[in-house]
Structure 1
Amino acid sequence: MTLTRRERVRQQTLAEIKQHAIEQVAGGGAAGLSLNAIARAMGMSGPAIYRYYASRDELLAELVTDAYAELTATLERVAAETARRAPARRLAVVAEAYRAWALEQPRRYGMLFGERPEQFADPQEGIAAIHGAMLVLLGLLSELAGSAGDNARATRLDTQLTRWAQRRGGEASPRVLRLGVLTWTRLHGIVSLELAGVFDAMGLDAGLLLDAELAQVVTAATA
């Protein structure tokens, strides 16, 4: 469809608002996001910008959804580009892509997993967007695990993970679900501590730590 001039101007304004918002987040985190400051930077009145976003949290919800979608797209792309490699190598490449994305834009990463205004919750669109990243991880772990079954008795955690997967419309064995969530927590933990400068203070290479964690994941998946 051909947009009217008014519609084109509105889309351009929305894009400019979001670009200013991203710059604000990059400079001071999600807590520093201010519609009034964006309005001043764009030469708009305070009330005028609220015709585009009713509140700061509405704008933040879009930024979160966009960032989740960008992170997911990054992981999906590298997984597709390495489709002919061994699953263990693909897992390493995907994990490194996750880490690189976070290191390149630490404030946006913090916006997703740490620095949130009080009472802000992920929008449903954002949850759906990041779920694709977990599907990439679960797919690789399923390849690693192969047809190996899970003979252990189901635990309360297995039940919770299965319910979570069912709500998201995904299918995986309890073993793969456990591996998926535990792998993500390890990856997120290393990245978060690296961003906080903890490993620098300890004289540790975060890349080597990540390699060691992934080696344990591969061992657990293929056991």
Structure 2
Amino acid sequence: MGALIRYNLAAVVHGQRYVAPLLFFGIVLTVFTVNDSGPLANIYVVSASTLLVSMCWLTVTILNHEDPVRRSIQSVTAGGSSRVLVAEVVLALLIGVGLTVVGLIFPILSGSHHWDGSGLAAGVLALATCLFTGIAIGVLCSRLVVPRTGYSLLLALVVVIAVPLTPGLPPVNPALRLMSGNRPAGELLYPLSGYLVVSIVVAAGCIALTRYISVRRE
């Protein structure tokens, strides 16, 4: 599995299509957090929202980086298409963890905030919720489900915008609404933990559904 992850990483890096979502993440985070002095929980709404879009974009990029013929060859070599899909999801998750750390620390370094353990924990939970949700949307909107790459990216864009903006739709919208309020960070940890669990379940379901659809098409 490690070799398969390294192969996909090398292929994605060589294709350089990862640059746009990473630039998007860095630019938006910089513009909205530099010199900010508001509540730390509120600024993590920006980090989490940006991570959601970036991870959806990156996940689609990772799953779409090879055409169907080359993907079939990789599946045969790797011992099955399931192993390829898992390796791609793990790669997206590893990159997402790195972006989560950046989204957690950069606002503290670039702005002027009072922070404590509860605030950081709330930020981790909100960012992780958006990380798993972004991967879930990206997997379900990849070429494995939507064969045409253009339609795949367009669908991902529509869904990733609709998910955080739809009132009451778990897990992202209520999590971001909690973070944008005035409640103490310590009171947010329990509900945010629940939304994180929901995002993990949603991601697992989307991966399983994508696997089922892709196998039916093989």
* TM-score interval, smaller chain: 0.3 to 0.5
TM-score by length of 2: 0.41
TM-score by length of 1: 0.40
Q: Select the structure with the greater relative contact order (CA < 8 A; seq sep ≥ 6).
A: 2
More helix per residue: 2
CA radius of gyration, larger in:
1
